Amino acid sequence: MPHSRRYRSSERSSRGSYHERYRSRKHKRRRTRSRSSSSERDRRHRREDSYHVRSRSYDDHSADRRAYDRRYCDSYRRNDYSHERGEAYYEPEYRHSYEYRRSRDREGSYRSCKSSRRKHRRRRRRSRSFSRSSSVSILLCWASPVTFLSQVASWALTQLRGDVVLSSRFSSRGGARVALKIIKNVEKYKEAARLEINVLEKINEKDPENTNLCVRMFDWFDYHGHMCISFELLGLSTFDFLKDNNYLPYPIHQVRHMAYQVCQAVKFLHDNKLTHTDLKPENILFVNSDYELSYNLEKKRDERSVKSTAIRVVDFGSATFDHEHHSTIVSTRHYRAPEVILELGWSQPCDVWSIGCIIFEYYVGFTLFQTHDNREHLAMMERILGPIPSRMIRKTRKQKYFYHGRLDWDENTSAGRYVRENCKPLRRYLTSEAEDHHRLFDLIESMLEYEPSKRITLAEALKHPFFDVLEMEPSTKMWDSSRDISR
């Protein structure tokens, strides 16, 4: 509170004591120190800001995925010294799903300020929180004209706080529920959203009946600089369902249904000269993730079985047409093809490699290549799939990973022992000797071929013997696009 200056009357000016004058001078000095400490606190908070703001890494996935990594093997808890962690995996202008997190410690530090200063800082903190909020927020609402969706967007933007992802429902008479994606009002995120909208419009144009299992965009609009996109409402991602089910692998008949649909959806993209580049279980969503619950007496736990394996492929923010610029690094680390790591150039076959890794993950419940380092990633590939072809070694610019035509990897180091102990040849991951299981691994092996030119195409994959049972029993297909949206 500002201190008002008091003026003495003439009759009392002569009666002012020495102690009053001393207290006045002392109080003024105290005010000076207070201003100094205030500026010092401001500087200290500004320094702390730099420690509490970080971007979400594409190799980290999410907090759930990090816990999932730790579950795979205790050895994964060791530190990651990769220089590629974080935003380096993607060119910044193409990324739009970063999340920023704020520390609770900062909030605590503000509580010690005086009430007036605390109110001022709370206002400042709100404004900074909004500017650093998640680049994308998802809402559930009811489909209706753009006017109503604009009202939804207006409500959502007033509710954003920090890194929250909103999930709310709005009613409109006679409408169907949709998902509304709101992109942060930052130019690089908006540009990425425009690229995604362009891809989604092309998909809608080529597939007006939505028969090729790619997520359907209904509409998009700009609300005060925020790009808003409405999509069909889907269920959990295949990864989230796996996580919620304690990473219990999907049964092989469900793996077959899901793998066939993914191949069908991505083949449609490839036929239209488009590469997804970021296929992973998080970007494959169930149309309806309702499940049946049973109790496993042996393991003493509940186990979930999804009722319908109908899926949709989502997230086209990184999708690239053949004629467009191809970034050097694409794909999330665990699903990245060797030609991308070795910077040999990439095209549609890199999606096929990712699908092979995804199918393996559905079958066993954990990722095939659990690493964050290029050299270790290549060592895992050689341990699981055999030696890297000499042609690729000669052609790559990444000669630092090789010595005399072989991978420069010491198996006697701690990292070498780690790979040797936790990775094994692909066929040794089989959980059954049944013919279906061997056919599945034959398909995975053909998808994980080192040479992109020798890698199976998705048109060929759809004709693989592993999928023969689907042709014999078409009535058992579980990916019917119809669903009850009244729930």
Domains for the chain: give ranges and CATH numbers.
147-231 (3.30.200.20), 234-472 (1.10.510.10)
How far is Cα of residue 63 from the mean position of the Cα atoms in its chain? 10
Over pLDDT 90: what percentage of the chain?
Answer: 53
Of the ranges 109-113, 341-345, 477-481, which is most confident?
A: 341-345
Instruction: Give the single-character DSSP code of 214.
Output: B
Across the range 10-29, mean pLDDT stands at 48
Strand, coil or helix: what is 349? helix
Among the listed residues 384, 395, 383, 385, the one whose alpha carbon sits nearest the alpha carbon of residue 341: 395
To which residue do tokens 């990245």 refer?
336
- The structure's pTM equals 0.69
Cβ proximity of 446 and 466 under 8 Å: no
pLDDT confidence bin for 182, thresholds 50/70/90: confident
Q: H-helix or E-strand containing 129?
A: helix 115-131
* Element containing residue 311 per DSSP (H, E): strand 311-313
C-alpha distances in angstroms, 176 versus 56, 141, 169, 289, 368?
Answer: 33, 8, 11, 18, 39
pLDDT at site 328:
95
How many CA atoms within 13 Å lie on the side-chain side of 289?
A: 16
Report the catalytic residues: 278
Place of tokens 């270790």: 376
What tens digit of pLDDT does each residue of 430-453 get? 999 999 999 999 999 999 999 999
Summarised one tens digit per residue, pLDDT across range 215-244 is: 999 999 888 888 899 999 999 999 999 999
Q: Is the pLDDT of residue 130 over 50?
A: no
Give me the sign of the Cα torsion angle 206, 208, 212, 214. Answer: positive
Dig out the tokens for 362 from the structure: 């559905």
Could you give the C-alpha distances from 130 to 98, 99, 157, 236, in angstroms and in order?
Answer: 14, 12, 9, 27
With H, G, I as helix, E, B as strand and everything else as coil, classify residue 209: coil
Most confident stretch, 12-21, 165-174, 185-194, 454-463 = 454-463
Q: What is the mean pLDDT of residues 235-255?
A: 96
For helices 435-447 and 349-364, give the axis angle rounded to 10 degrees.
Answer: 150
Residue 253 identity (one-letter amino acid): H
Q: What is the mean pLDDT of the chain?
A: 75
